[in-house]
Homo-oligomer: A and B are copies of this chain.
Amino acid sequence: MGRKLDRIGDARLHDRVVTAEEAASWIQDGMTLGLSGFTRAGDVKAVPTALIHRAEAGEKLKVNVFTGASLGSDIDKMMADAGIIHKRLPFQADPTMRKKINAGEHLFVDHHLSHTAEMVRANVLEKVDYAVLEAISITDDGQVIPTTSIGNSLVFAEHAKSIIIEINTSQSQLLEGVHDLYSPNQQGEREPIPLQKVADRIGTIGIPIDIEKVRGIVFTNQPDSPSTIVQPDHETEIMASHLLDFLRKEIAEGRLTEQLAPLQSGIGSVANAVLHGMLQSEFKNLEVYSEVLQDAVFDLIDAGKVSVASCCSITLSEQKMQNVFSRFDAYRDKIIMRPQEISNHPEIIRRLGIIAINTALEADIYGNVNSTHVCGTKMMNGIGGSGDFARNARLSIFVTKSIAKAGDISSIVPFVSHVDHTEHDVDVLVTEQGYADLRGLAPRERVPLIIENCAHPMYKEQLWEYYRDALQGGGQTPHNLEKAFSWHINFAKNGTMRELIEQK
């Protein structure tokens, strides 16, 4: 215990060390928890597990669980299985939890990731009873140093009634000094966020806390879950090369330089492939201003391609995790971790002129994008930060493979079955077929570009057929509402979006 207490600089907190079981015992039915954790990184592990064990032992217990984004360590899965969730927000990515959400067994509120902090601050959501935050340590002056993510930990700590801290001794202590915690005042009473360059530091290295609110400190040593990112395949590499061609066109036309502009890339294999593609490119002195740093960013730093990377979470594959944290000294002066409110803030995104690369589930012939709902009804993960970035970016790029399920699903459809990003917020669409640059185009100008450049050949004629028919009715955005969802309906009934001969 002596060595462990070295992690708690403020001696007034030394007597608050408890077991995870004891800390979890304070949490009661009906409470709201604010947990650290963003895309499997920096999540609290011990207290939620102890809480789940209570439910598994038969106790009737429902809580609201607010986080940064998705949790690792199977916490979301175990919470869903144990049935202890009443309401979950703002994001999740667990198959079991997804199933429960879609079955209506618990509520899920799908937030823009920059919004949750404003709602907590403005007292719009349920009051957070316990903030439960993973930390490396607590400084002498009572600052909590986060681990591999910040997420919403700052705003949870500020507004929760009580705080429980999990000090995780498996996380690298070299992370201290990498975080930059900045909290805006209430709306209407705030100053401009003083961040002008990706590298700017504007806050403190830890979360300033009211130590009276700290009820317990738990020690753990469980590592983060590694990321589940699929490595680039042939198709994602082709998509990456189309996207890099588009960026080259922008340079040729004088709108960008080889330094490009600060890059945001959503989590996923295509985004990862795009960054990988930059390894062999002429682009240089790149800056990253994103939510999550995945493996590729560290490869780009190693290659001298990326000079600085801002994020709110570091989520790596198992091998990369070991590699990065065993020599974190090589990276720490190039990385800044921020609260998700700041990494995703419209003010900063618009000011920096970010190039945003996010993944679409499906897009329609006019450029509307669905990034959350399978066939319009079943939640996949959530909108995440894609809306924060797409809406205010210099360039809002969406990537998707043109087909799924061996061609039974076309990702380019007549009318998306759910809209997360409207035609106004989608600048460029990229598939393995090519890219469509939609900027400044009227809806009728976008259609041929999207069909010819992005749709899979097996669906092109079918899309043209829909559009020619829709044109009969006229309009700024021609549609035949009787057939708008016919592709999705066909898939539900016949297992394919392809038109059958007898249906013609």
Which residues of A does B touch, CB under 8 Å?
Answer: 87, 89, 101-104, 107-112, 115, 118-119, 122-126, 186-188, 190-194, 196, 253-255, 261-262, 345-347, 350-353, 368, 373, 375-379, 383, 387, 391-392, 394, 417-424, 439-442, 444-445, 470-471, 473-479, 481-482, 484-485, 488-489, 492
Q: How far is the CA of A441 from the CA of B482 in the complex (A)?
A: 31
Could you say which residues of chain B place their CB within 8 Å of the CB of A196? 190-192
Contact of A419 among B124, B262, B377, B422 (CB under 8 A): B422
Contact of A379 among B441, B475, B481 (CB under 8 A): B475
In whole Å, how far is A6's beta carbon from the nearest beta carbon of chain B? 40
- Given known pairs A474-B104, A475-B102, A485-B484, the reply for A440 and B394 (CB within 8 Å) is no
Q: How far is the CA of A188 from the CA of B192 in the complex (A)?
A: 16
Could you say which residues of chain B place their CB within 8 Å of the CB of A379? 475-477
- For A124, the closest partner residue in chain B by CB is B439
Contact of A387 among B194, B262, B424, B484 (CB under 8 A): B424
Q: How far is the CA of A307 from the CA of B227 in the complex (A)?
A: 54
Of the A-B pairs whose beta carbons lie under 8 Å apart in the complex, a sample of 23, sorted by A's number, is A87-B442, A107-B442, A108-B476, A109-B441, A124-B440, A125-B440, A187-B351, A187-B352, A187-B394, A188-B353, A190-B196, A345-B350, A347-B351, A373-B476, A376-B484, A377-B473, A377-B477, A377-B478, A378-B474, A379-B475, A420-B422, A481-B488, A484-B485
A-B pairs with lowest CB-CB distance, top 5: A187-B353, A377-B475, A192-B192, A379-B476, A419-B419
Q: How far is the CA of A129 from the CA of B104 in the complex (A)?
A: 57
Asked whether A262 lies within 8 Å of B126 as measured between CB atoms, the reply is no
Q: How far is the CA of A209 from the CA of B111 in the complex (A)?
A: 44
In whole Å, how far is A165's beta carbon from the nearest beta carbon of chain B? 26
Contact of A122 among B123, B255, B391, B475 (CB under 8 A): B255
Asked whether A126 lies within 8 Å of B440 as measured between CB atoms, the reply is yes
Could you say which residues of chain B place their CB within 8 Å of the CB of A119? 439-440
- For A493, the closest partner residue in chain B by CB is B482
- Given known pairs A378-B476, A473-B377, the reply for A442 and B109 (CB within 8 Å) is yes
Q: Interface majority SS on A: helix, strand, loop or mixed?
A: loop
Q: How far is the CA of A194 from the CA of B473 in the complex (A)?
A: 48
In whole Å, how far is A474's beta carbon from the nearest beta carbon of chain B? 5
In whole Å, how far is A138's beta carbon from the nearest beta carbon of chain B? 31
Could you say which residues of chain B place their CB within 8 Å of the CB of A444? 104, 107
- Given known pairs A350-B187, A420-B422, the reply for A485 and B481 (CB within 8 Å) is yes
In whole Å, how far is A438's beta carbon from the nearest beta carbon of chain B? 10
Could you say which residues of chain B place their CB within 8 Å of the CB of A108? 442, 476
In whole Å, how far is A122's beta carbon from the nearest beta carbon of chain B? 6
Asked whether A383 lies within 8 Å of B109 as measured between CB atoms, the reply is no
Could you say which residues of chain B place their CB within 8 Å of the CB of A488? 481
Asked whether B110 lies within 8 Å of A476 as measured between CB atoms, the reply is yes
Could you say which residues of chain B place their CB within 8 Å of the CB of A470? 377
Could you say which residues of chain B place their CB within 8 Å of the CB of A475? 102, 373, 376-379
| 12 additional contacts (CB under 8 A) given A104-B474, A377-B477, A420-B424 | A101-B476, A109-B441, A118-B394, A119-B440, A124-B255, A190-B351, A192-B193, A346-B392, A373-B477, A387-B422, A387-B424, A481-B489
Asked whether A187 lies within 8 Å of B439 as measured between CB atoms, the reply is no
Q: How far is the CA of A368 from the CA of B372 in the complex (A)?
A: 15
- For A376, the closest partner residue in chain B by CB is B479
Could you say which residues of chain B place their CB within 8 Å of the CB of A473? 377
Q: How far is the CA of A470 from the CA of B373 in the complex (A)?
A: 15
Most chain-B Cβ atoms within 10 A of its Cβ — which of A109, A123, A478?
Answer: A109
Could you say which residues of chain B place their CB within 8 Å of the CB of A253? 123
Could you say which residues of chain B place their CB within 8 Å of the CB of A485? 481-482, 484-485
- For A478, the closest partner residue in chain B by CB is B377
Asked whether A255 lies within 8 Å of B123 as measured between CB atoms, the reply is yes
Asked whether A188 lies within 8 Å of B440 as measured between CB atoms, the reply is no
Asked whether A440 lies within 8 Å of B481 as measured between CB atoms, the reply is no
- For A260, the closest partner residue in chain B by CB is B188
Could you say which residues of chain B place their CB within 8 Å of the CB of A103? 474
Q: How far is the CA of A419 from the CA of B425 in the complex (A)?
A: 12
